[in-house]
Each structure stands twice: as structure tokens, then as C-alpha cells.
Amino acid sequence: MSLPPDQRASNTEHFAYRPDIDGLRAIAVLSVLGFHAFPQWVKGGFIGVDIFFVISGFLITTILYKNLQTERFSLLDFYSRRIRRIFPALILVLTCCLIFGWFSLLADEFALLGKHIASGAAFVSNLVLWQESGYFDVAAETKPLLHLWSLGIEEQFYIFWPLILWLSWHKKINLLKVTLYLLFLSFALNIWLHTDSRIADFYSPLTRAWELLAGGALALYRSKQPPSHFDDFASKSKAFLSVLGLVLLVSGFLLITKERDFPGYWAIFPTAGALLLLYAGEHSLINKYLLSNRVLVWFGLISFPLYLWHWPLLSFARIFSDGDDPPRHIRIGALVLSILLAWLTKIIVEQHLRFGRQAKLKSIVLAVLMLLIGALGYLTYAKDGFPARLKNIPNSIEVVKLEIPAGFKSVFVDGWPFYQKNSDKKQTSLFIGDSNALHLSPRIDELINRAPKETNSAIFSIAVGCLPMPETNYTDASRGCSALMPRSLKFVEDHPEIQKVILSGNWYEHLSGNGHYFDNGISRYPITLQSTGYKLALDALGRYIKTLQHAGKEVYFVLNIPIGSELNPKHRIQRSILHFPNILSTREGGLSYQMLNSRYGQIRSDLIEMANQNGAILIDPEKSLCSEDLCPSVDRSGTAIYLDSTHLHPTFARQQANFIDQTVIETVTK
């Protein structure tokens, strides 16, 4: 969600300053801050980024077009100005994040921060985050540089946009028509992707370019001669247009939430609203009396550094709160501090480096510094976060990857991966699920190694991050969620040696509402607790179990393990910028069973009822992992039970997850 780089277009850049544009920026940046700090109150605040895209396209295209008209167009000058505008504040924020991370983050967290520093310095954060996960998942909130995704989109756009304008100008092609044509293509791609690949639609520069192009089209339209009949009408209706623009923005803030398929058609609200306010001009009703207000203009003038500072502060606060929402006073304090840092950044750093003499030298030095901070970020990532810098960290918090054991081999059937480990028995157990099925694989590997003659062969069909229920999918179709259940069923039908089928997943998280939906080919229903999609998905899973039973298979249904940030080994760490992270002997860690039941008791009851009604054999990990009062995070010897908030630690699973033994061996091994 970056802010427009040319924050205050001055007369020296051939653009008369408009205070109302800074006021519009202020509304956008404050809405973004509100959404990030208080998402339950400012639910649609994230659309502020779309406003920024429009403003950016409008200002930059205006400047480029005037330079073309006056024959002062220079790519070198364009990129030099952008370096002096963007790099100073960005280098400062990246450097501070790297230093702060060194003193406060664990190795895996610091390595990920290094990766994001490198991608931020290279302006490809959107592409890196696209490959990692969704913007709205919980993990995203603990990525201090998540917000640089939009800066990546802008810079990728501006690599090509000046060239397109220059070529069209010299080929005497109508610039407005070229812009509108590209806008249509980008918007069409956005609509095509927004239902099936929401994450791709959100992060791709191709699906976001239309918002920048919309601002560019307005800039070119306003520059045309002679005025049209619409201009005559608009000049008499500026008050109406400005009010309509504000209504569209407010409607967007109220109607658009993170549950919407955004951007899609919904992005029209902020885009059209911003366009109308820009077109209405600084003397129109809303622009003159609201957007030109001194307070809003001041926030608009610091909007770029304010945006850069606010998210790292909020994100680090969440990390220090074990991944949970920080207390309200901490979030308010982070916003106040970000405003102070933004103001200081502007008056001390930006003003001295953006303007004045020796522009070429400044640009070169800034480019070298950006390369240096990017290289340091990559080195941090390559060195796994420099784990040697940490002291007094117990082995239970060591970084371990969740992956299939080396003893399994991958087999692709019709393009779908299955992971297989053979025992001396032909009979086979097939595990179907997400990463909560995957984390059982170390135990199965151990059982086959220990008793190959008494243990079934095992095969895992895994789709990480997917709800293992038929006729369900995820908002980003690239995960392949819809293929998991039908591919697995076909595999069962084609392999008679499969004796047992085990269904395992993070039911609590998926069914609480994290982007999955039920799709029967006719209608789509979002899956949230007790929703229509929730009930349809449970019914479909029941039918799936019956189908497996009719094929002669024993079906086991594995209920959820306890989940929660309280179970994460990192919950036991006291973080401090004054001392390296240290273990707290008084903080044993664990989740009360009462709290677990209050969060997920309804889902648990519904799953048990569904499994019993359809004759599945229930496996309940909670009976092994919890007492009547507590689900501990470590066993009696101090060994970590959990890898993170939602997965068993591979070492614990291999040695002690005996609740799953009956799925592969008749004589259960304790």
C-alpha cells in the first residue's frame, strides 16, 4: 500500500500544486492506518491503496505528458527523480527494521525479514508475497514489510509506462486511446482472476495497473484541446461531482471488507471516487472545504513516510504479543510514533535529499545504499537469520521445517503428488488432508521403520492450506484445493490395496472462515461458522465418507489437535530490544481447555456428530494432548509438543503421537 511517490508536485515539475490532492492522500493514508490498527472498526480502510494508485497515475502521467509536449522528456531524469523521492525514506525504514530485527527476532523470523528487506529493496515484494501466502491471513500480520507490496506494483508499472507514452508520442498514436485500451485489458484480467485466484488478483501488477491507468487517463483527458461538451457540463457541476466522489469513497469504506472478492468490481468504488474528486478540481465544494483543510494537507505531505513507518511498528508489536492483537494502547502508541517518525523523516531526510544541488550524485549514492541494504537482507536470509547471535534459547524453539520424512518417495498420478512409504505389507493406509495430515507423517515413518511386517504401507495425499472437504475451494485457485478430494477418491478407486483412509485437517481454522468456500457448480457459499457454506461442506464430507465405505474402506476421521498462539513455543520467549530473547522460567506455556472449548467447541461438536452419523472411526488427539484443565505446550521432559500454533513438532509427533497408530497397525504401539 505505498503512497504516490511525487508527494507534492511543484511548479518546477510543471504541475501547479493542489492542496486538495494532499488532503485526498490524507484520507487514504489515515484509512489504511485505521484498518491496520483497528480492523474491526475501519473494515474497508485498506481501499486507501487504490486511491493512492489513482493519484499516482494522475500526477506522474501529467508530468510525463507535459515533458513530452515541451520536449523535456528524459528517462534518466525521470528515474533519478523517483530515486530521490522514494529511496531516502525507504532505505531508512529498511535499515531500522534490520537493526531492530537483529535484537528482537528469532532466527526464522529474522531470516524471513531479511528476505523481505531484499525483495523490498528490489521492488518485487508483491511477487514474493504472492508466492508466500495471502494478504489477509494471520501470518501476514507478523511480516513487518508486508506493506511494500504496493510499492513494488507501482515501480513495476513505472518501468514500462514512461516508455509506452514516449513510443506512442513519437509514433503519433493517440495517448488517451492507448491508455484506455490498456486499462480495459488490465480491468478484464482483474475480473477474470478475482473469483478463482484472489491472491494473484491482489498482488499482480497486471491486475492492478488499471487503477494507475485510470489516473493516467484522467490526466491525458484534462490535457486535451479543445474542451468537450462534458467539460462544459462538468464545469457547472463540480460541486456535484466532488460530493459524488466522496459518496463513492465513503460507500467503499463501509461496504468493502476483507471478506469481499477484492479487488474485482469492488475496486471501482475507490477508483471512481478518487477520479471524480481529482476531476472536480481544488475549487469544488468537497475539495475546497474538506480536502484543502490544513490538518489533512499536513497529513498528506507526510503520507509516504507515514505509510512506510506505521506497519513495521504495528507488526513488531504483534510479534511481541505472540502473534495476537497488541493491547489498544500499544496500537495507538504505534500510530502516534509513526506520525512523529514520518514528520522527522520528511524534514530531516527527505527535504535535504530530494531537492537541492548535486541531484545526480545524490541519486547514485542512494542507489548504492539501496543495493547495500538489499544485499544485507539477502545475506540475512541466506544465513538463516544468524542463529548464533541468540543466547539462552532452548532446543524446543529451534527452527524445524514441516515436511514429509526422507523415507517417503513422491509419485505423481495424473499430475497430483502422492507420498508413499512401503512396509512389508501390501495393505495400505491413505492419509488425505492438509498440513495437519502432513505433521502425522513422522509418526507413520517411525512405525514402518520399527515394525515393517506389522504395519501397513502408507500414502499421503496433501494440499497444504486447503480444507479437506469435497466441493470446497480456496479464494486463490492456484493452491489446487478443489482437486484434493476428487483426485484422492479416484486414487482409492484405482488401488484396491488401500485398506484404510484417514481424513485429517485443521478443521477449526478452515471452518472458522479463512477464505474457503463451498462450490457445487451452481452457487458459491463462503465457509464461516454455522453459515450455509459450512453446513453444505459438512454434508458433502459425510457423503464422501459414505462413498469410501461403499468402496470397502475403513474410514478414520481425525479431529483437530489443539491450536492457538499459547501453544507456540515462541510464546515462552521474552523479547527485548535491550537483551537477546531469553526463556522465561515462570512462563511454561499452554492453553486452558476451557479457552480451547470456547473458541472451537461448536465446530468440534459438529464434526463429531457428522463423523458418527456417517460411521467413521473417530480419532481424538485432544484426549492425548490435553488434561481436563490444560493443553500444555511442552511434555514432562520439556520437549516441545508443537512446532507452531497449529502443528505438532516433528520430534514429538515421531516419538509420542501414538493416537494415530491404529490407522496403520492393528496392535497399537505405545
Determine contact, residues 437/426, Cβ cutoff 8 Å: no
Give the contacts of 372 (CB within 8 A, at least 6 positions apart): none
Q: What is the mean pLDDT of residues 185-207?
A: 90
C-alpha cell at 621: 488427539
Q: Any idea which of 99-103, 107-111, 154-158, 520-524 has the lowest mean pLDDT?
A: 520-524
pLDDT of residue 118: 98
Answer whether 643's CB lies under 8 Å from 570's CB: no
**CA pair distance 623, 617, nearest whole angstrom:** 15
List the one residue out of 224, 97, 214, 112 whose CA is nearest residue 161: 214
Domain ranges of the chain: 11-389, 397-565+602-629+653-662
User: Which of 366, 341, 316, 324 has its CA nearest to residue 98?
Assistant: 316
Better-scored residue on pLDDT, 311 or 142:
311
With bands split at pLDDT 50, 70 and 90, how would you rate the model's confidence at 313?
very high
Q: What is the pTM of this model?
A: 0.86
Residue 370: exposed, middle, or buried by beta-carbon count in 10 A (0-12, 13-18, 19+)?
buried
Looking up cell 492542496 gives 19
pLDDT, tens only, 617-651: 999 999 999 988 999 998 888 888 999 899 999 99
Q: Is the pLDDT of residue 3 over 60?
A: no
CA atoms of 545 and 615, how far apart (whole Å): 8
Q: Copy the grid coordinates of residue 1.
A: 500500500
If you search the block for the grid coordinates 496403520, which residue do you land on? Answer: 664
575 Rama sector, left if φ>0, alpha if ψ -120 to 50, beta otherwise: beta
Mean of the pLDDT values across residues 76-96? 96
Cα(219)–Cα(183) distance, integer angstroms: 14
Q: What is the mean pLDDT of residues 422-440?
A: 95
More confident residue, 11 or 385: 385
Name the residue with cell 537541492. Answer: 356
pLDDT in tens, 506-541: 999 889 887 778 887 777 888 888 899 999 999 999
Encode pLDDT of 363-393 as tens digits: 999 999 999 999 999 999 999 999 888 776 6
Give me the pLDDT at residue 10, please.
Answer: 40
* pLDDT per position as a tens digit, 473-504: 876 666 678 899 999 999 999 999 999 999 99
Distance (Å, rounded) from C-alpha 88 to C-alpha 347?
12
Average pLDDT (277-305) is: 95
Interatomic CA distance for residues 481 and 465, integer angstroms: 8
CA distance 76 to 31: 35
Distance CA 134, CA 145 (A): 14
Alpha-carbon gap, residue 110 to 105, rounded angstroms: 5
Q: What is the pLDDT of residue 666?
A: 75
Alpha-carbon separation of residue 398 from 40, 384, 626 (angstroms): 34, 12, 23
**In this structure, what DSSP letter does residue 462 have?**
E
**Residue 174 to residues 158, 188, 448: CA-CA distances in angstroms?**
19, 21, 70
Query: Alpha-carbon distance 114 to 94, whole Å?
Result: 10
Do residues 458 and 501 lie in contact, with contact meaning Cβ atoms separated by under 8 Å?
Answer: no
The third-level CATH classification (topology) of the domain covering 397-565+602-629+653-662 is Rossmann fold (3.40.50)
C-alpha cell recorded at residue 414: 495424473
Backbone φ and ψ of 219, nearest 5°: -60, -45
- DSSP SS3 for 431: strand
Beta bridge partners of 602: none
pLDDT digits (tens, 9 = 90+) for 572-614: 777 766 665 554 444 567 899 999 999 999 999 999 999 999 9
User: Strands 428-433, 457-462: parallel, antiparallel or unpaired by DSSP?
Assistant: parallel
d(CA 146, CA 134) in angstroms, rounded, equals 11
Decide if 481 contacts 473 (C-beta within 8 A): yes
Beta-strand relationship, 554-558 and 617-619:
parallel
CB contact at 8 A, 216 and 277? no
267: its cell numbers: 475496486
- pLDDT band, very low/low/confident/very high, at 84 (cuts 50, 70, 90): very high
211-245 tens-digit pLDDT: 999 999 999 998 876 666 666 666 678 899 999 99
Burial string for 468-494 (b: 16+ CB within 10 Å, else e) reads: bbbbbbbbbbebbbbbbbebbbebbee
Per-residue confidence (pLDDT) for residue 638, from 0 to 100: 80
Mean predicted lDDT score pLDDT of the chain = 90
In DSSP terms, 640 is beta-bridged to 634
* Helical residues (DSSP H) of 256-292, grouped into ranges: 268-280, 285-286
Distance of alpha carbon 86 from alpha carbon 155, whole angstroms: 10
pLDDT, tens only, 234-281: 667 889 999 999 999 999 999 999 878 889 999 999 999 999 999 999
The distance from CA 520 to its chain's CA centroid, rounded to whole angstroms, is: 27
Using 50, 70 and 90 to split pLDDT, how confident is the model at 398? Answer: low
Hey, CA dihedral for 266, 271, 272, 274, is it positive or negative? positive
Cell of 124: 518485487
pLDDT over threshold 50, residue 9? no
pLDDT value, residue 267? 97
Work out the percent of the chain whose per-residue pLDDT is above 90.
72
Contacts (Cβ under 8 Å, ≥6 apart) of 579: none
pLDDT of residue 584: 47
Q: Please check whether residue 218 is in contact with residue 56, taking contact to mean a CB–CB distance below 8 angstroms.
A: no
Q: Check whether 6 has a pLDDT greater than 60.
A: no
Using alpha carbons, list the distances in angstroms from residue 478 to 196, 462, 616: 8, 15, 31
C-alpha 387/C-alpha 107 separation (Å) is: 5
- Measured in whole angstroms, the distance separating CA 458 from the mean position of its chain's CA atoms is 34
- Position 47 scores a pLDDT of 97
Across residues 540-560, what is the average pLDDT? Answer: 97
Please state, in angstroms and as integers, the Cα–Cα distance from residue 294 to each residue in 288, 310, 321, 462, following that order. 11, 22, 36, 56
| pLDDT higher than 90, residue 441 | yes
